[in-house]
């Protein structure tokens, strides 16, 4: 069942205001406890459409909660997806102002650059690798709009899966020349190791996670487009940071990516 349009707009306004004003807000399921997954994805889409009306371009898709460490951290057993917008892309060499965040955390991910439109409901990891021009090391900065970063799946889906910023490293490699399921990664904060993991943590293989998202999008006639960037989901738990911190993720075979916060 579709939500009343007024309710959808009210929730979108509520979440966008929290993001713009950099303040955490009570999760939406407190007020609307019977919201469904479908309704949450409809709210997410409305929120993205509003960002587009404000002049921001959609540039890809992100996956969330694709790895055991992340699912355990959040107490859930399912993956989710959201959208990447142009203004979320941050650069390695430009310190990111902390004042733009509420309570950010960084997580290492593998990014896919998609070279052909792909849509369907039975898409496989091989299909994804076939349309991927490059993979690259990435860090996603998540910044839930909800109090204390606590939410249900419905809440986080509506909040575009906590998306805030992401940074892509400069080593772009064809997925044909490396084994994407065995990429070890460590993330450091100010040169001290903060967390370690391996890409197999992402549903056994990051391309399996991307295929899952495409199949989900396919259920409502959507898909990935040539040129899209896809973040395949955090390999490890997410790490908090503060102004002055430098975070670096080092991936075997894929090089490193870092950012600093001011
Ligand atoms: C939800 C977003 C999760 C990932 O890579 O697992 C995510 C959250 O943890 O706030 O982006
Ligand atoms: Mg993520």
Q: Which domains does the chain have, with CATH numbers?
A: 5-260 (3.90.850.10)
Which pLDDT belongs to residue 1?
Answer: 56
**pLDDT exceeds cutoff 70 at 43:** yes
Which pLDDT belongs to residue 2?
Answer: 62
**pLDDT exceeds cutoff 60 at 241:** yes
Per-residue pLDDT, averaged over 1-24, amounts to 90
Per-residue pLDDT, averaged over 121-140, amounts to 98
Q: Name all residues whose Cβ lies below 6 A of ligand 1.
A: 64-66, 70, 74, 107, 140, 142, 144, 156, 161-162, 233-234
Give the global pTM: 0.97
**pLDDT exceeds cutoff 80 at 3:** no
If one residue of 19, 70, 210 were mutated to test the ligand 1 pocket, choosing by the most ligand atoms within 8 A of its CB, it would be 70
Which pLDDT belongs to residue 151?
Answer: 94
CA of 162 to the centre of ligand 1 (A): 6
**pLDDT exceeds cutoff 60 at 16:** yes
Return the ligand number nearest the Cα of 240.
1
Per-residue pLDDT, averaged over 11-23, amounts to 98
Which pLDDT belongs to residue 68?
Answer: 84
If one residue of 61, 74, 160, 197 were mutated to test the ligand 1 pocket, choosing by the most ligand atoms within 8 A of its CB, it would be 74
Neighbours of 87 (CB within 10 A): 13
**pLDDT exceeds cutoff 80 at 85:** yes
């Amino acid at each position: 069942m579709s939500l009343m349009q007024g309710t959808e707009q009210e929730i979108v306004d509520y979440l966008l205001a929290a993001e713009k004003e950099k303040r955490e807000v009570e999760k939406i399921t407190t007020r609307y406890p019977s919201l469904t997954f479908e309704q949450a994805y409809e709210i997410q889409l409305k929120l993205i459409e509003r960002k587009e009306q404000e002049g921001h371009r959609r540039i890809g898709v992100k996956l969330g909660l694709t790895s055991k460490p992340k699912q355990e951290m959040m107490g859930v057993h399912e993956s989710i997806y959201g959208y990447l917008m142009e203004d979320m892309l941050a650069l390695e060499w430009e310190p990111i102002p902390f004042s733009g965040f509420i309570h950010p955390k960084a997580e290492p991910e593998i990014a896919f650059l998609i070279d052909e439109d792909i849509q369907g409901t039975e898409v496989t990891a091989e299909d994804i690798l076939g349309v991927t021009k490059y993979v690259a090391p990435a860090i996603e900065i998540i910044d839930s709009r909800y109090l204390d970063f606590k939410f249900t799946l419905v809440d986080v889906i509506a909040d575009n899966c906590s998306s805030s910023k992401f940074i892509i490293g400069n080593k772009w490699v064809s997925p044909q020349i490396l084994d994407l399921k065995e990429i070890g990664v460590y993330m450091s904060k100010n040169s001290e190791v903060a967390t370690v993991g391996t890409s197999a943590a992402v549903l056994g293989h990051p391309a399996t996670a991307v295929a899952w998202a495409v199949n989900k999008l396919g259920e409502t006639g959507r898909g990935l487009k040539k040129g899209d960037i896809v973040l395949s989901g955090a390999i490890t738990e997410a790490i908090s940071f503060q102004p002055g911190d430098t975070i670096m993720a080092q991936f075997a075979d894929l090089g490193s990516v870092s950012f600093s916060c001011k």
